[in-house]
Structure 1
Amino acid sequence: MKILNFYYFRQKYDLPLKILLLLNIALIASCFCCYAQTPNPDNTTSKVDHTYITARYMGGLVIPHHKTMLYFIDDFASGFEINYGLRKFDRNSWQAFFNYPEIGIGFYHGTFGNKEIYGTGYAIFPYIQYNVFRTQRLSINNKVSMGLGYASKPFDLQDNSYNMIFSTHLNIYIGLGLSVDYRISDRISASMSGDLTHMSNGAAKKPNHGVNVVSVGLGTKYHFNKNLTPTINKTQPNKLKERELLIVGSIGRSQSSIYNPNKFWNSSINVNYIWHLNEKRGIGIGLDQIYSEAIPYAWEEVENINELQSFSTKDCFVTGVFASYNVYLGKMNLFTNLGLYIKHNVSPPQPIYPRLGVRYPILPNLIGNFSVKASFFRSEFIEFGLGYRLKYSKQKKS
């Protein structure tokens, strides 16, 4: 028995999740590093730490966003999640700019609608949970989780050829959630959530349709600090007169399609000029030069590819311009680029492309980069790289 026909949700749910902040395992993991760099407050500054353990049971549906999944999903999805979190109330920290979010690490286990074909999944992930609304007892939060996932039964040509959603044991796990917690005693809160989770390998190996699960969770949160939650207002970040020129080179590998088993090299160089609006956000413009051996195969429709056709090196080059949006969590930079192809020899599936990722300084001007390049909302390759930063006009506005 098929649960529901969600095929029309393909554009709405599957594709954005493939790129959403794949990227961003390093982003939230680096938040823990930021704690060590937070300056010590003086005696008049509030500094309170609240730590929690939250456990939820989750039940819901797998969204069959590809036709092959419609034939095999015959059960509901279920699982559980355990989180250990810390909320740091320190007016001198970067957390004060974001209304004191909860940051922690979690574990997930769940099913995907057919244990015989899709098996079960496990994930361990860092997360950040922002406040939508908070009183001393009630909090409404939105949560982003990004980490490593494990699929127990990936695609195997001999033993599990029907599984088109996972081709590797190791995957990227992404979770989005909206939760409500209510303090019912000194130590216990009742907790409920709505969650959307995704797991795939980011096009590193095909098939890679990935799996999306929408679910509802019920559970409890244990408070190690029995005091009620402080209701400190967030701190407004200082405005800046700061500009930055950032040059980043990155490299990665990917598989173009299930019909082509070859792994291709991909690389990019981008130059980004950034205006820092304040200590929290910045905007920028830039130029991309991308080289991808997979482009001639990934951008052409399968039925149009001529196996005897050869491609030249220039077919693998594309040029684009982009706008960037940057969020700064201490020294860490979470960025989103939206680009437009301006030069190419092979026509892209869409003229617009996104890139999302995280950057963190290794040395004062040397930047580590982790990001995902996509074709509109379908991931093309994950990339790692280094960048060099030139800053000037560092004085703050009065």
Structure 2
Amino acid sequence: MRLDKKIYNLLFVGLLFFGTATFAQDSGDSLNTVKIIGLKLHKGSVLIHSRDLRPIEDSYPTGIELDLAWHKISQKAWESCHCYPRLGAALTYWGYDNKDVLGQGLTGLFYLEPVFNTQGRVNYSIRAGFGLSYQNSPFDSISNPDNLSYSTYWGFPLQLGGSVHFRIQSRWMLNASLMYNHISNGGIRQPNKGINWPSIGVGMSYYLEEFEFKERAITDWRALGPLEKRWDFTLFLAYEEPRENLFLFSPGLEIKWSRQFARINAYTIGGEVMYDNGTGYVLETLGEAPNSIKAGLAAGHEFLLGKFLFSQQLGVYLSNPNPEHPQVYQRYGLVYRVDKTFNAGINLKAHGHVANFIDFRVGISL
């Protein structure tokens, strides 16, 4: 299979990064964190969620994944979820099985993966990942008019799924996974219906040093402290490029209430208002008076993973002047808590299977 030159170069840089990170001296405490390298083969099937995507039906992507992870095995990590979570980076080459339309791609994902049942020979985990990707065959009205899935070389991949791990030796694991994968450009440029495909994967992973998952007491999570309750006040900035050389930035404010109800779970209720220049552009092209104010209410869920929050929300618009958008939307976010007050992260807003935009955000929690 012939690789696009840009993909080859990016793959080389990625491998160089993985090799450097793998063999560099560990500056952390090896008793608390263990490094892992892994290799996995994926096979998937593209989902057709719109009649416009018929040209890519019967496409079965194949992926080769190189994985580097840091497995947290400390008492503090255990107390966060009654599990041993790991943080990792996955570099995956994808052949989309439709080279004339979808081409090939390379994804780089940062992920969080809590691992459960670590005292047994068989354990299981849940993974949520977000990152950057490169695809070599975007939409072109002349050379590639059938590709309505993406229109930029760069995109934003999401991944959510689970894995089963079988410990065959002290450092070796056999892994099987089921993942849901999504790539789009975050609504930066149209068309942007995205590529959505579930995949199954089989691979091996190797721990770079001897370790053990210590058996620790299962305590009542309520005894570790009071329930986490907080108000989040967040400023965000979305970016779109509806046509070439037109760059639109849309600011917004979100206010959200979060309340913990289990060890790593919280529910959220909130609202947002934004000055959506993308909506203003759509109305102007339709010959209507521009109206850029959008507002909505949303309820959702958060995974509380130490300094990281992974959120999912379902919202309904209170004000939605954009005729191209339905009244219901979803949000998926990854936030890093610098401390108890300040945080920063990214968020994807979507309407069904179609991404609206990516935004970057900073906030305070009270």
Q: TM-score, length-normalised on structure 2?
A: 0.77
Which of 78, 82, 92 is equivalent to 1:108? 92
- Secondary structure of the equivalent of 2:232? strand
Structure 2 residue 186 is matched with structure 1 residue 202: yes
For structure 1, the residue ranges without an aligned partner over 5 or more in a row are: 1-35, 41-46, 299-304, 392-398
**Alignment pair present for 1:87 and 2:71:** yes
Change (3 A) 1:196 1:294: same
Counting aligned pairs with the same residue, the percent is 22
Distance 1:115 1:285 in 2: 43
Structure 1 counterpart of 2:250: 266
Q: After superposition, what is the alpha-carbon deviation per residue over 1:148-194, rounded to whole angstroms, capped at 9, x for unaligned?
A: 11112222334333322221111111223322221222332322222
1:97, 1:234 within 8 Å by CA — same for their partners in 2? no
The TM-score with structure 1 as length reference comes to 0.72
Question: Against the structure 1 CA distance between its residues 215 and 96, is the aligned structure 2 distance closer, same or farther, given a 3 Å change threshold?
Answer: same
Q: Counterpart in 2 of 1:19?
A: none
Output the amino acid matched with 2:295. T
Query: Which residue number in structure 2 is paired with residue 248 of structure 1?
Result: 234
Counterpart Cα distance in 2 of 1:185 and 1:345: 59
CA distance in 2, matches of 1:278, 1:177: 21
Q: Structure 1 89/63 Cα, relative in aligned 2: closer, same or farther at 3 Å?
A: same
Larger radius of gyration: 1
**What RMSD, in angstroms, separates the aligned Cα atoms of the two structures?**
3.5
Shift of 1:347: 6.5
Q: Which has the higher contact order (CA 8 A, sep 6+)?
A: 1
Decide which moves more: 137-146 or 282-291.
Answer: 282-291
1:325 deviation in Å?
A: 3.6
From 296, 313, 320, the counterpart of 2:296: 320
The amino acid across from 1:213 in the alignment is: W
What's the CA shift string for 1:234-290, capped at 9, x where partnerless? Answer: 55253426653432222212256x8x9955432212223444568855444433222
SS at match of 1:106: strand
Letter in 2 for 1:340: V
The one-letter amino acid paired with 1:159 is S
Report the more deviating stretch, 240-249 or 200-209.
240-249
1:124 correspondence with 2:108: yes
Q: 1:318/1:94 Cα in 2 relative to 1: closer, same or farther (>3 Å)?
A: farther
Q: 8 Å contact 1:102–1:129 — kept in the other structure?
A: yes
* 1:291 paired to 2:247: no
Q: CA deviation at 1:109?
A: 0.8
Distance 1:265 1:100 in 2: 40
1:387 maps to: 363
CA distance in 2, matches of 1:146, 1:275: 24
Give the number of aligned pairs. Answer: 338
Equivalent of residue 374 in structure 1, options 317, 337, 350? 350
Alignment partners' CA distance in 2, 1:386 and 1:218:
38
Quote the Cα distance in structure 2 between the aligned partners of 1:70 and 1:88.
44
Q: CA deviation at 1:205?
A: 1.1
Contact 2:80–2:263 (Cα < 8 Å) also in 1: no
Greater shift, 144-153 or 190-199, is seen at 190-199
Q: 1:118 offset after TM fit, Å? A: 1.6
2:315 maps to what in 1?
A: 339
Partner of 2:153: 169
Give unpaired runs (5+ residues) of structure 2.
Answer: 1-25
Give, in whole Å, the separation in 2 of the partners of 1:114 and 1:182: 34
2:101 counterpart SS class: helix
